[in-house]
Amino acid sequence: MYWTSWFLAALAVVLAWPVPVFLARATWPARAPFAAMVLWQSIALAGGLSMIGAMLCYGLVPLGNNLASGLRGLVRIFLGTESLDTLGLIHAFALSAAALLSAHLVFTLWLTYFRIQQQRRRHRDLLNILSSPSNDRPGTVVINHQAPVAYCLPGGSRSVTVLSDGLLELLSPEELRAVLLHEQTHLTQHHHLLLWAFAAWRSALPWLPTSKLAQRAVSSLIEIMADDVALRSVSKSTLVTAIALVASGSAQLPAAALVQDSSAQIDTPATTSARLSRLLTPAPSLGAGLQALIVVGALLLLAVPTALLVVPGILPQ
């Protein structure tokens, strides 16, 4: 397991710095958003697994030739049938670090979920005061304000799309349809779950380039994916106009807590600019074969640390 631990450590470093930086600077993800989304998830998962796996494997080196035998030896130490001296100080430290990092990641994931649920609860309470249900659009509420605003608030069966009176007056029926299709895509494709996972990743490891770059990229990619769904039913010019009009009103929404609430699906200026640029100066989509190759590569990337951990004898011991 000695060489396995070093290989996983090297993989963790590569996935923590050069790979996410290179991918964040690339232009092709906007041409293949689904493939790029899968790749970002694989980088995050493989990077986390490699970090924990490297420390775990190194810590278990004195106890066995593979993960299973090493864990059995660790159990014997806990049960008192084998001396702790077998492990050694450095290896015990590595195991402690692996356990602490694992616990930190799981706890941060839960804590982020708890905070988002609290935000959504407060957000929904504010909406109950500031909005009224739409008469002809199920799952939609309307805020009495002249700023053009639209966003969605996920919550399972209680998910809602929030519009303002100003938006309803400003947009044409077709533009409004484009906005609703975009927001409903966020809800039906459960984009909030991706945002939750990457928000937790960034909270757990804020110093890691992967976490920051991945969160930004994923936020942009889900907007692109929602735009692509809307484009199946409305024209490009209609969607561009709708995006620009909605963006013009986001900063004017009353009760700033609504806009700043991370539990709501709300565009940032940078994301809006990227969406408009992509629609106004379109580039051809990547071929289906190339996109499939990227997805397969992403899955193989995740399989590498998994196989190194669970399959004995892949690398020399």
pLDDT confidence of residue 297: 97
Residue ranges, the chain, pLDDT below 70:
249-266, 312-317
3-state SS record for 3-65: HHHHHHHHHHHHHHCHHHHHHHHCCHHHHCHHHHHHHHHHHHHHHHHHHHHHHHHHHHHHHCC
| Residue of 39, 30, 38 whose CA lies nearest to 227 | 30
pLDDT confidence of residue 260: 43
Per-residue tokens: 137: 């659009």
pLDDT confidence of residue 159: 92
pLDDT confidence of residue 125: 92
What lies within 8 Å, CB to CB, of 315 at 6+ separation is 3, 4, 7, 308
pTM above 0.95, yes or no: no
* d(C-alpha 101, C-alpha 2), whole Å: 20
